[in-house]
Each structure stands twice: as structure tokens, then as C-alpha cells.
Copies of this chain bind each other. A is one copy, B any other.
Amino acid sequence: MNRSTSLRVRLPVFVLVLEVVIIALYAAFVTYDDNANAKFQTNETNPMENSVYRDYPYFADVQVMIFIGFGCLLAFFRFYGFSGMVFNFLTATFSIQWAIVIQGFFQFNYGGKIHLGVINLLYAEFACAVVTYLFWSRAWEDESRSAPGHGFAGDPYLFCDRVGWVTFVLYRPSLNKGHAKEITSYSSDILSVMGTLFLWVFWPSFNSALTIKGDDQHRAILHTFIGLSSSTITAFALSAVFNKRGKLTMADVQNVTLAGGVTVGASVDMMISPVAAYALGVMGCTACFFGYKYLTPFMAQHLRIQDQCGIHNLHGLTGLISSIAGICAIILATEETYGPSMYQIFSHRAPPEGDPKLLELQKLIPGLKPGLGRTGQEQALYQVAAIFSTIAAASVGGLLTGFVMKLSFMASPSDEDCFDDELFFDMPDDFNSVEFKMPMKHEDKEQMSSENTKV
């Protein structure tokens, strides 16, 4: 037992500090959103029009994805099921708490107070997908109002690539040959597929949670479903065709099937047409599959990046495809396709204050705010800039996070203890007998098997 992995002092101290800080910040700065404040309810207020009814269903679905979907999916290692599921639970809870304050400071801050509603929780959940996200938060602030999808669905995926940079710093040469415990079991694989299914089922809610309400959200749901569907059957086909014996590989079923949900991200609420969503699903899945097959081993050997969960493939590569698709969709957007609501979806393309066209449009869309009068090409250039700044922020943030995680006071396990629940949990008695079954010699199995079939 490596003393340095004990959570006895570090975890409680960390939690205590966090709780004191959060209580202080909450007490000083956090109040209710107007929709959650009894004081602002009058006889004009229709309770059923409270924002909670627009936001909570999507919040609940994303909760299922983060806590149950990812929890199960990450429990795919045979001896690392507790850790995968439980540390996902802990990390998600931590980062949502933190994100509420940071996000609140940047986005829901007026009159010197952070205003808390279910919408903040929803934003915090998106932030939760990336553990620290200060840089992103700022980049997001500037651009989020200018392009749909962007900042909501496309970029988080691309930003997830920062986790790849974390793995760069955490590189362990000895793990490169593979680790004896880096294996799955029959039941852990099934649990992991359940996680995939939860993610698959609720991904449309994730991609559409922060779009404009109405037809935009409707399209986001359609595109995500179509992209996931085409991605799924492509993943099965690729899995079979690149397997020597024509069998399916569970890792493909668990991960590559989901790629389509990412690729449609950046253009999810635009008028890209159903066939484009279908094609994006196929492309994203293909890129993700070959990423797993060739890029992950290449990076592990030559670029010292160990990426057990395939973040680069599921989020990096597909996020890039998604962003390029988003740029194309922005360039191709015309008033002919979108009608006047184009200036609502791409708010920076709306005519500026004083432009007579603005008044004309405001007759058609009463709440339309003046924009910057950008053309489609200009808007696309800003989008390109946003992609590069996201990649840069992800890299810097990822490297920093990696170095922090390498600091000696973090409970970092020795190489041989990696992928082992025993390091962090009191284990039930049968854990050792489960372990026992693993390294059975092949001849023994054959013999047993032949003996058994005689019975």
C-alpha cells in the first residue's frame, strides 16, 4: 500500500477549503434569479411560464448523461469499476459547484450579485464537462452571442481536447506496453454499454439544451438523432470490417457509436438539412474509428500521450469536423433559407442600430436586437478565430492541469497500482476472487472447457 495515495488528509482538506470558500461566496454574492424569487411574482405572472419549465427537463436529461451515462461508461475497466463510477460522481459534483460560481460571475452577474436559477445549473453542467474552464468561459462570453451552436455544443467538444494535453504531462513510459489490469470483464463491458445507451438516448437533449427555443431546438434534436443513427450503424460496419475474424469490438460499440452526436454539434440548430446531419454522422464516426485505430497508438508511442478514454478521437477529431461544418453552415446561411429569424440565430449579422433594415426586421421579429451587420463570410472568419483560440486555451489549460496533477501532494498512484480500485476503496471480499480468474493459462481454460462439455 503506497502511503502517498491515502485520501485521509488531502481529500477532506480540499473539501473543507472548497466548502468554506463556496459558503463565503454564496453568502456574499449569490441570490435568486428573478424566476426563482417570490418577491417578483405578481398578478401578472403566469406560474406555468416560469423559466423552470423550459430549462428543467433538459437539465434533468443532462444530469442523467453526466452522472449515470458517463458513470457507467467509465466503469469499463475490470478492476476499476468503483473508481470509474464514483470518481465521475465526485468530480462532476465538484466541478458543477465551482462552475456555478465562476459561470455566475461572468454571465449572471448584475447589481453586484450572481442570480441563480436552473439555467445556471444547466450552464454549469456544460462547464462540468471540462474540469477547469476559466479561459474558455471568457472566450465563450465574447462569441456566444454571435453564432448559434458555437459555444453551446461545438466548442465544448473541441475544448474537451484539452484533456488530451493533461495526458501529455501525465505520461508514464512504463504504461506504454499496456498494463495487466488495463482490461475489461464481461460485466464491466455490459455496464459500459448501458452508459453508452444512456448517453445515446439523451444526447439530443444535451445538444439542444442551450439553443434558442422553438424551431431551433426542434432542429437540434432532429440533427442529433439523425447524426447518432448514421454514426451508430457506421460504427458497427467499421468494427466488423477491420476485425480479423469479422467480429464486433465492444470498445467500438461503447465509444465510436457516439461520434455523430459530436460532429453535428457546431451546426446543430442551423438549417443544414437532414441529409447533412446524416453525412456528418457518417464522417464523424469514420474519423473517430480511425483515430482509435491509428492515432491513439501513434500518440502513445511517439507523442507521449496516453489517452485511455479516447478523448482525442471522440472529441478532438470530431470536434474539428463539427467546427468546419459549422463554418460552412455559417457561410451558406441566407435569409432565403432562414427567413428573417436568421438575424436572431446569427445575432451579429443583424443590422446595426440606426439601420432602416433593422426597424423593418423588428416588425417581423419584435424582440430583435441590433447587431454588427456582419456578412456570412465575416461571421465565418470570427468562427475560425474562435476555433483557434479554443484550441490554444485548451492546450494551455490542459498543460497547467497536468502539472498541478503531477504535484507531489496529489494522491498519484504508482505505475503498478494504476487501474486498481483497491487503492482508493475498501473492497468487498469477492474482489480478490474476481482477480484470481484473470490470469488463467490458456491451456487450462481449454482443458476445463473440454471437461465441462463432457459433463
Contact = CB atoms under 8 A, between A and B. Distances in A.
A364 B85 contact: no
B213 A50 contact: yes
A374 to B, nearest CB: 18
A257 to B, nearest CB: 8
A432 interface: yes
Interface string A103-145: 0000000000000111001000000000000000000000000
Contacts of A194: 68, 71-72, 85
A50 B217 CA distance: 9
A18 interface: yes
Interface string A2-25: 000111110110111011001100
A256 to B, nearest CB: 13
**Which secondary structure dominates where chain A touches chain B?**
helix
A96 B245 contact: no
A26 interface: yes
A221 B120 CA distance: 12
A253 to B, nearest CB: 6
Copies per complex of this chain: 3
Given A26-B274, A229-B96, A218 B18 contact: no
Interface string A51-94: 11010110011011001100110010010011001100110011
Contacts of A423: 247
Interface in A274-319: 274-275, 278-279, 282
Contact of A19 (B27, B233, B253): B233
Contact of A215 (B38, B213, B221, B339): B38
Interface in A297-347: 337-342, 345
Contacts of A193: 71, 82, 85-86, 89
A11 B187 CA distance: 26
A221 B257 CA distance: 33
A95 to B, nearest CB: 10
Given A38-B339, A233-B93, A246 B8 contact: yes
A54 to B, nearest CB: 7
A225 to B, nearest CB: 6
Contact of A430 (B68, B78, B229, B233): B78
B437 A433 contact: yes
Contacts of A449: 432, 435-436
A403 interface: no
Interface in A428-446: 428-441, 445
Nearest to A86: B253
A40 interface: yes
B233 A18 contact: yes
A173 interface: no
Given A23-B279, A50-B218, A118-B218, A339 B41 contact: yes
Chain A residues touching B, range: 35 or more
B12 A51 contact: no
Interface in A27-56: 27, 30-33, 35-43, 45, 47-52, 54, 56
Contacts of A240: 6-8, 11-12
A414 to B, nearest CB: 15
A406 to B, nearest CB: 20
A221 B57 CA distance: 12
A449 B438 CA distance: 10
B430 A437 contact: yes
Contacts of A18: 233
Nearest to A16: B237
A18 B217 CA distance: 28
A9 B89 CA distance: 41
Contact of A248 (B7, B30, B41, B215): B7
Given A233-B15, A233-B97, A236-B90, A67 B245 contact: no
Contacts of A383: none
A412 interface: no
Contact of A38 (B72, B197, B338, B431): B338
A115 to B, nearest CB: 10
A392 interface: no
Nearest to A97: B229
The 8 lowest CB-CB distance pairs between A and B, nearest first, are A47-B214, A8-B246, A6-B246, A15-B237, A26-B275, A7-B240, A52-B218, A39-B339
